[in-house]
Chain A
Amino acid sequence: MQLTNRKVVVSKKEQSFAEKLYLPAIAKGMMITASHLFKKSPTINYPEQKRPIAPVFRGQHVLKRDENGAERCTSCGMCAVACPAEAITMTSGERKKGEEHLYREEKYAATYEIDMLRCIFCGLCEEACPKEAIFLTDRLVDTEFERRDFIYGKDKLVEKIDQRIDVTKRQTPEVLAFKKIPGLKHNELFDKKLDKGNKH
């Protein structure tokens, strides 16, 4: 079976005088090298230059605050149970009186951790979130020297009040509508039952 036509049969024939000199071969090689000086570079200088990314790029997570600055997350655990890599862990706390401006609902995430080494950036957590609290953004996760530094806590995940992170790209009407449509699995089951009843 032949996969490519680049097969070369190795031969051990004696080198000619010109070949023994090596000079023509060196000149040929230098020509190739020099020609690359005038070609377009395939690489970019990353931190200064950045390649364009898709609008649905999934990068580092953000935990959103609502319009009053209160954290949206209620620590319901849907993201953690949806996560195929089991990267999300959390503990819940109960909101006390006077903390209404900090947390949106009675329960909040006292700790919320995402292990960025475990995370596969599939976006199932934002799909599962019933409170529009977690979103994946176009930011890249920083490189670190220690493994423990990749476990992002609330200090890194929750957006700062004065530095809001724009997620409108990921909050398209289609996405929001998807969460509200009745055509989810349980409704299909119900429709099937109804069909059976009609036949009877």
Chain B
Amino acid sequence: MKVTIDGITIDVPKGTTILEAARMIGPEVAPPTMCYYSKLKTSGGYCRTCIVKVTQGSAANPTPMPKPVASCRTEVMDGMVVENTINNDVLEARKGVVEFLLINHPLDCPVCDQAGECSLQDLSYEHGAAKTRYEFPRREFERIDIGKYVQLHMNRCIMCFRCVKVAEQLTDNRVHGVMHRGDAAEISTYIENVIENEFSGNVIDVCPVGALTDKTFRFKSRVWFTKPVDASCDCKKCSGKVRLWMKGPDVLRVTARKNMWAEVEEFICNTCRFDRKSVSDWKIEGPSPIHRGSVISQNHYNHLNELKVQVMKQQKALGFMDINKRP
């Protein structure tokens, strides 16, 4: 099936959603996501961040769809034409969605441990809506204790349901879910039950905001002062492929490795995540690739090495002649 997204045509198999097709093309045209998670079944369709404009439904029926559609839940048709970043209406509508997501968000980024790797922070900055116009009282919750490893901040939750899907699909004995409906909905555990399943720590990684954070990392350091390092170990329960967040010789935090879509590559178990906090527990593979524009690469001066490599290359090409002279 041929589908055209932002003027780029790609051939995709039947049943692919617009979002997946856009991700196949690349990050430039892929719509941002808050609730969709490719590793979790039936995720998506809640946040409306990934809305796109379909200007031509299919080759057989070229009428445009009347409203922007959620690309994570809309399957492509042959000859479909989709506009994402080139359509002004889509950007405006998405900006509106961001404002809606921020209505009940406390915007306490200076306190939040997720700041620096938060999808909502990125999304709102990308759309120029980092400040909220909402002046009314936000909904606030009493803090619920859900165990010694995971910290739940309901105030920051945007109801993406990702953690619920993790509990449903990864852990065998689900103890937490969404209570109530609509505006009153909240993430809760079954009668204050603590999450004790072996894979429950993954709710931290899938949470796009700072609603679920690591208690063992709580207020230890801002994310951008730690250095991410890829490491592995022989774990019987999971693949053992993790990312260590180090400060000097200390391992402050262990997370799963995330790909370019901020989705984990392989889910890891709680033993790896919370109990192996020493370098001797791990086989270090090397520094993790971090995008240069990311705040996490801030102050690490990685780009100086890149520059050096470039200069060396140029010098070599010139046979160690004057590097200021262009070839």
Interface residues, chain A, with chain B CB atoms under 8 Å away: 74-78, 80-81, 86, 92-94, 105-107, 130-131, 180, 182, 186-187, 189-191, 193-194, 196-198, 200
Let me know if A186 and B126 touch, CB within 8 A. Answer: yes
List, in ascending order, chain A residues with CB within 8 A of B115's CB: 76
Let me know if A194 and B222 touch, CB within 8 A. Answer: no
Let me know if B126 and A190 touch, CB within 8 A. Answer: yes
Stretch at the interface among B56-64, B103-111, B229-237, B268-276: B103-111
A93 to B220 CA separation, bound complex (whole angstroms):
8
The closest CB in chain B to the CB of A93 belongs to B219
Stretch at the interface among B34-42, B81-89, B190-198: B81-89
From the candidates A76, A106, A130, A190, name the one contacting B128 in the complex (CB within 8 A).
A190
Chain B interface size, as a band, is 20 to 34
A39 to B299 CA separation, bound complex (whole angstroms):
53
A189 to B91 CA separation, bound complex (whole angstroms):
12
Within 8 A of A (CB), among B52-101: 85-88, 91-92, 95
| B130 located at the interface, meaning its Cβ lies under 8 Å from any Cβ of chain A in the complex | yes
List, in ascending order, chain A residues with CB within 8 A of B224's CB: 77, 81
A77 to B298 CA separation, bound complex (whole angstroms):
12
Name 19 A/B residue pairs within 8 A (Cβ), A-sorted: A76-B109, A76-B110, A76-B115, A76-B222, A78-B110, A81-B222, A81-B298, A81-B299, A94-B219, A106-B108, A107-B219, A130-B110, A186-B126, A190-B127, A194-B88, A194-B91, A197-B85, A197-B86, A197-B87
Q: How far is the CB of A59 from chain B (nearest CB, A)?
A: 25
The closest CB in chain A to the CB of B87 belongs to A197
Number of A-B contacts (CB under 8 A): 67
Let me know if A80 and B91 touch, CB within 8 A. Answer: no
Interface residues, chain B, with chain A CB atoms under 8 Å away: 85-88, 91-92, 95, 108-111, 115, 125-128, 130-131, 218-222, 224-225, 295, 298-299
From the candidates A78, A86, A107, A193, name the one contacting B91 in the complex (CB within 8 A).
A193
A197 to B84 CA separation, bound complex (whole angstroms):
10
Given A76-B222, A81-B298, A186-B126, verify A106-B111 contact (CB < 8 Å).
Answer: yes
List, in ascending order, chain B residues with CB within 8 A of A186's CB: 125-126, 128, 130
List, in ascending order, chain B residues with CB within 8 A of A130's CB: 109-110
List, in ascending order, chain A residues with CB within 8 A of B85's CB: 193, 197
Let me know if B110 and A131 touch, CB within 8 A. Answer: yes
A182 to B219 CA separation, bound complex (whole angstroms):
30
List, in ascending order, chain A residues with CB within 8 A of B225's CB: 77, 80-81
Q: How far is the CB of A97 from chain B (nearest CB, A)?
A: 11
Q: How far is the CB of A18 from chain B (nearest CB, A)?
A: 62
Q: How far is the CB of A197 from chain B (nearest CB, A)?
A: 4
A105 to B92 CA separation, bound complex (whole angstroms):
34
Q: How far is the CB of A95 from chain B (nearest CB, A)?
A: 10
Q: How far is the CB of A91 from chain B (nearest CB, A)?
A: 8
Q: How far is the CB of A118 from chain B (nearest CB, A)?
A: 14
Q: How far is the CB of A64 from chain B (nearest CB, A)?
A: 15
Q: How far is the CB of A62 from chain B (nearest CB, A)?
A: 19
A74 to B111 CA separation, bound complex (whole angstroms):
6
Q: How far is the CB of A39 from chain B (nearest CB, A)?
A: 52
A86 to B126 CA separation, bound complex (whole angstroms):
28
A75 to B110 CA separation, bound complex (whole angstroms):
7
List, in ascending order, chain A residues with CB within 8 A of B109's CB: 76, 130
